[in-house]
Amino acid sequence: MHPYIPFIHFERQAAEKTIEREDFEYYKKKIAYYQSHGIISEKPVSGNGQLYLSPELIEESISNLKQIVFETTEKCNLQCKYCYYGEYYHTAPERKNQDMPVEYAKKMMEYLSKKQLSEFNQSWNHWMYISFYGGEPMMNMPLVKSVIKAGKMKNRQIAYSMTTNATLLNKNVPLVVDNDIHLTISLDGNKENNSYRVFRNKAQTFDKILSNLKKLQQQYPIYYEKNIKFNAVLHNKNSVQEIYDFFQTEFNKKPAILELNNSGIAEEKSNEFYATYRNRNESLSQLENYAQLESELFLDMPSYHSALIFLHQYIQFVYKSYEDLLSGENRILWTSTGTCIPFSRKIFITANGKILPCEKIAQKFALGTVDENGVYLDATEIANKYNTYYKTLSKQCAVCYRQQACNQCIFFLENLEDKPVCHGFMDKNSMQKYLTNTISFFENHPHDYSRMMKDVIIS
Ligand code: SF4
Ligand code: SF4
C-alpha cells in the first residue's frame, strides 16, 4: 500500500503564525501526533555511532566509484560577463589555460581499474559515468577521445556526459553521437537573454549555438531528444518566464535554471554584481501563469523542492536503498555534517592534476594528485583531514536539531581550518517551526505528496 500522510485540519491561522513561546504547546501536540503515527521520528535518528570517518569507508568509495569528472581543460573560447573565473570573483583559483595532459587521465583510469579489483569492490556490473567539464571541454578533444578509447577497453558499461557551450559542437557531432554522449548546454534564453555569453572578441554566441543545435536536431532527432539538456543562468537580462518560454517554443525542453554564485564577490565589484544578480524565487513568484507552471516546473519550485528534501530526510518509510528496506532500518553511516563520504558520489580531477571529491569545492581542499608518474591518494591521510575538520564543528553539531538531516557541506563553511561557524544551525524553536510549515504544505498539497512519492522517490 502506498504510504500516506493523514490530513488533519488544523486551524490555518495558528499554523501560519510565527512561533511564539505561548504557541509551543500547540506545535508540540501537532508534532506529537505525527510522531505517534510514525511519520516523523520521536527522537533524532542518530547514526550507528560512527562519528568519524574511517580509511576503509574511503577505500570502499574509491573501489565502487560511480562517476569520474575530468576538468578537460582550463581554456574557454568564451568570456562570459558573470563567469566564476571572471572579474566579479576574488576567490576563483588562478587559471593558466592549461589542458589536462592525456597521460594524467590514463594514469587515473589505470588506478581506478586496479581499485575495482580490490577486496572493497562490490559493484562489478554497475554503470560508470564519465563526465567532461571545463573550461570548454571541446577545446581539448584529444583528451576526450583518449578517455573514451580507454573506457572501451574496460569490461564495464560506461555512460559519458559533457557540459559545453556548444559553439564548437558542429566540429564534433560524429564523436558525440557515436559515443552517445549526454550534453548539458549552457544557454540563457533568447538572443537578448543570452547576451552576457560572448566570445573572447565580444561577439555574440547566440546565433552560432542556435545554428549548431538546429542542425543536430535535424540530423539526429532521436539523439537530440534523448541526450540534450540545458542550463540557463538567471540574471538581469532574462527571467524565469522568458527562459521557460524560449526553451519550450524553440526546443520543447525544460532547462535547469541556475542563480549566479554570490559568494566570493570582490568588494569593488559588489554593486555591479548585484545589479546583474537575480534571485530565482523572486523571479518565480513573478510568473504570470504561476498556477499553470507550478505543476510543470514541480521540483524547480522552491516550496516543492524543500518538501521533497523533507520526505527524503525525515519520513520514516522512505529508505535509501533496497538493503535498508529489507533490513528494516535506515543505515546512517556517516553522521558528520551533511558532507559526503569522499568519492562516494564522484571523483573530480582538475586540469592541473588535483583530486577532489567534486567540482564545486575549492582546489585548496584537494585530497590527492595525479601526474605522469601516477596517482597519489592516501585514505588514512584523507580520513584524518576530514576528522580534524569535523572535530572543529562537533560542539555545534551536537546540539543542532538539524543533525539528523543536515545537508551542510563542510567545505562551504567560512574559517573551516580555524573556528568555523555554521549558519545552518537549528535550535528547537526553529525546528518546530520548520516541521510545522512543511507538514502544513503537505496538508495543502495532498496530490503533490503522492506525486513526489510515486514519481520521484519510488521511481
Ligand atoms: S559539495 Fe560537498 S557534500 Fe556535495 S558532493 Fe561536493 S564535497 Fe560532497
Ligand atoms: S551545526 Fe551545521 S553542520 Fe552541524 S548539524 Fe547543524 S546544520 Fe549541520
Residue (of 1, 8, 2) closest to 442 by Cα position: 8
Ligand nearest to the CA of 340: 1
**Ligand 1 proximity of 277 Cβ (cutoff 6 Å):** no
The pLDDT value recorded for residue 31 is: 66
Per residue of the chain (459 residues), give pLDDT as tens.
Answer: 233 333 333 333 344 444 444 555 665 666 666 666 555 554 444 443 445 788 998 999 999 999 999 999 999 999 999 999 889 998 787 788 999 999 999 999 999 988 877 777 766 667 789 999 999 999 999 999 999 998 887 667 899 999 999 999 999 999 999 999 999 999 999 999 999 999 999 999 999 999 999 999 999 999 999 999 999 999 999 999 899 999 999 999 989 999 999 888 999 999 999 999 998 877 877 777 766 666 666 666 767 778 888 887 776 666 666 666 666 555 444 557 889 999 999 999 999 999 999 999 989 999 999 999 999 999 999 999 999 998 888 888 888 888 777 889 999 898 888 888 898 898 888 888 888 888 888 888 877 777 787 777 665
Residue (of 337, 296, 344, 334) closest to 448 by Cα position: 296
Q: Which amino acid is at 99?
A: D
Residue of the nearest CA to atom 3 in ligand 2? 337
**Ligand 1 proximity of 362 Cβ (cutoff 6 Å):** no
Q: How far is the CA of 433 from the centre of ligand 2 (A)?
A: 17
Length of the chain: 459
- The atom of ligand 2 lying closest to the CA of 407 is 8
Q: How far is the CA of 358 from the centre of ligand 1 (A)?
A: 6
Tell me phi and psi for residue 451, to 5 degrees. Answer: -65, -40
The C-alpha angle with vertex 232 and arms to 230 and 238, in degrees rounded to 5, equals 140
**Ligand 2 proximity of 397 Cβ (cutoff 6 Å):** yes
The pLDDT value recorded for residue 248 is: 93
**b (16+ CB within 10 A) / e for 101-123:** bbebbbbbbebbeebbeeebbee
**Ligand 2 proximity of 408 Cβ (cutoff 6 Å):** yes
Q: Strand pairing partners for 133?
A: 71
